[in-house]
Structure formats: structure tokens, C-alpha cells
Amino acid sequence: MPQVWAITDGGLQSTLHALALANRLGNVTVKKVVSQPSIRLLPLIVQKSLADWGARKKITSLPWYLQGDELDGPGPEYVVSCGSDAVVPGSLHVLKALPSRPYSVFLGHPNLPFLYFDQVVLSKHEANSKMAKLGPLAQQRNSLVTKLPILDIPSNTSLGSTAQQFSQQVLKPLRGKPITAVVVGGHHPDCRWYTEHAVQLADQVKRMVTKLDDNVLVIFTDRASEKNKTAILDTLSPVCEDHPSSIVTWDMTQGDLSSLESAQAYEHVLTNVTRVALTADLDYLTAHACLFR
């Protein structure tokens, strides 16, 4: 089968989105390759020029302006990229540095002219809201607009043993009653929410446990800020002490799981819960959760 690299920013949404397509193309290797935080202050077109300059040497080690996984292993035939602006310079560097010249697909809007990728795939709502800055859609010939984001339910055979054991450990205290998963994201330009909103969310979770006698798993994604995490945990701490078998928290940024294992563990959790509630900034995860209902 063809070798496929999924280049992401390490986030849950971008990893699941990239895997939805990459798993259908061949054997997948997930790699996190992003620009250094200081480089992200530059305009994206400048970062793109920096990636072009750095990729002149065909080497597997990352240059100084990138961080993440090394470019070792079998050369891919396909590169599927997805994530924030930080992943764009990394994916462009990978495409130019690899001697195999793989076919490139970017999922989402790259905030650059589409000609730098072989194919750009956007959902209809994203295309309508973001295409104006790059001109009419008809001029972007290598774009594919879908009615919904690309989604895929993985088979049980694709679940790694580490991810399965971890997810079972997370769910173990909640066995015996229906489980509601509350997935927490963070501040987004299109969905601004702050500490007071995090406290309101925690109050709703408290009512689910104390009034409805429900089991709740609170999942903090990589997008959740430390301030909002602290606000939610402080609000929930009395309930956790009084109902230790009814509420569990999982911080996905903690632990030794890779981005792939975290995504696999998250999907295994979704197959074992009754309901899923997500904050409004998690647009892709909302569509993804509908597949499991």
C-alpha cells in the first residue's frame, strides 16, 4: 500500500481530520511539524518563503525555524496536511525537502494561494466564509468543496493497544451508568468565550451530576487554556470529592500519548459514552461526534 504522511499541528481536531483521509489512501504515519513560536509572528507568505529557502537541502532533520518530528522513515507518496497556520510552513518544507515529490493535499483553508498544494479540500461553510480573500472560487482550480468535512469511522483493528488501554482506564471509574462526555475547547475568533463562560459550563456539569445522577467525563482538548481549565476544575472540585465515581476529568495535553494515540483513545471513548456535549468552537469535532451517535 502507498505510504502516507499526515502532517498536523498535533491538535485533536487536525489529527482526526487528517486521518479521515489519510487512512483511506494507504499506510499512515502521523508527524507533527510546525513553525517555531517566534516565526509565527511573521506574515504567512514570509514563512512560506523561509520554507522554500530552507528546503533547498534535502535533509531529514528539521531546520531551525521548524519544530516537531524528524522527516525520517520511508518516503511517502501522499502528504495530507491539516491544522492551524503554524502547520503550513512545515508542510511546505516537507513537500520540497522530500526527494519522492509526494502528492499533497491540504484539508481546510491554508491562508495562502492554493497553487502551493496539489489539492485543497474545504467544507462548504469554510469555503463560503474564507474564499473572498483569495478571489472567486472558480479561480482556485485545484480546490474541492464538500458539503461536510471529511469524516471517517475507524475500524476496531486500527485502534492501538496503548490507546485502548488508556481509554479503558479513563472510563473505568464511571462504569455502571450512562456516561456523558463534555469536550472543552477554547477561545476562537469565531467563538469567543472566557473564564466566566468556563465557570458557567462547570455549573452545568455540577447539575448533571447532582440533579440528574449522571456520570460525566470532562475532556480538555489541546485548545483549552490553562486559565479556563483551572476555573472549571476549581468549580468542580467539591463535586469530585462528594461523587468520586460520577465525574472524571481527562486533560489531553498531559501524559505520554502521541497525537495519534490521543486521537485513537478519544474515538474509543466516544464509542463507550451515551451523550457528547462540545463547546461551540470545536466545529470539526462536532461533526465527528455525530458519526458515533
Q: pLDDT tens for residues 232-261?
A: 999 999 988 888 889 999 999 988 888 999
Q: Are residues 7 and 142 in the same domain?
A: yes
User: Domain end: 98, 117, 146, which one?
Assistant: 146
In a domain, 151, yes or no: no
Q: Count of residues for the chain?
A: 293
Q: Are residues 133 and 196 in the same domain?
A: no
The yes-or-no verdict on residue 6 having pLDDT over 90 is yes
Report the pLDDT averaged over residues 210-225.
92
Beta carbons within 8 Å of 261's beta carbon, 6+ residues apart: 160, 162, 163, 166
Which residues does 225 contact at the CB level (< 8 Å), separation at least 6? Answer: 186, 187
115 compared with 59, residue with greater pLDDT: 115
19 & 44 share domain:
yes
d(CA 239, CA 266): 24
Residue 87 lies in a domain: yes
Predicted structure pTM score = 0.90
Mean pLDDT, range 203-219, rounded to an integer: 92
List pLDDT tens digits, range 7-33.
999 999 999 999 999 999 999 999 999
Place 72 in a pLDDT band, splitting at 50, 70 and 90.
confident
Residue 139 lies in a domain: yes
Same domain for 284 and 188: yes
- Residues 107, 170, single domain; the answer is no
Q: pLDDT at position 157, please?
A: 47
| Same domain, residue pair 97 and 193 | no
> 44 with 94, same domain?
yes
One domain, residues 136 and 177: no
Mean pLDDT across 54-82: 84
In a domain, 27, yes or no: yes
Highest mean pLDDT among 17-31, 41-55, 96-110, 159-173: 17-31
Counting the structural domains of the chain, the total is 2
What range defines the domain where residue 211 resides? 156-290
- For 150-271, where are the E strands, in sequence order? 179-184, 215-220, 247-251
* Same domain assignment for residues 9 and 142: yes
CA–CA distance, 196 with 198 (Å, rounded to integer): 5
Q: To the nearest whole percent, how much of the chain has pLDDT over 70?
A: 93
Identify whether residues 126 and 163 lie together within a single domain.
no
Q: Which helix (H) or strand (E) holds 49?
A: helix 44-54
Task: Choose one of 146, 168, 196: the last residue of a domain.
Answer: 146
**Considering 95, 111, 146, which residue would you say is the last residue of a domain?**
146
Whether pLDDT at 137 is above 80: no
**Stretch 179-204: mean pLDDT:** 89
> How distant, in Å, are the alpha carbons of 9, 109, 229, 265, 286 from that of 16?
11, 16, 23, 11, 12
Residue 251 lies in a domain: yes
For residue 209, report the phi and psi dihedrals to the nearest 5 degrees.
-80, -45
Q: Are residues 69 and 132 in the same domain?
A: yes
15 within a domain of the structure (yes/no): yes
Looking at residue 197, which CATH number applies to its domain? Answer: 3.40.50
The verdict on 16 and 129 lying in the same domain is: yes
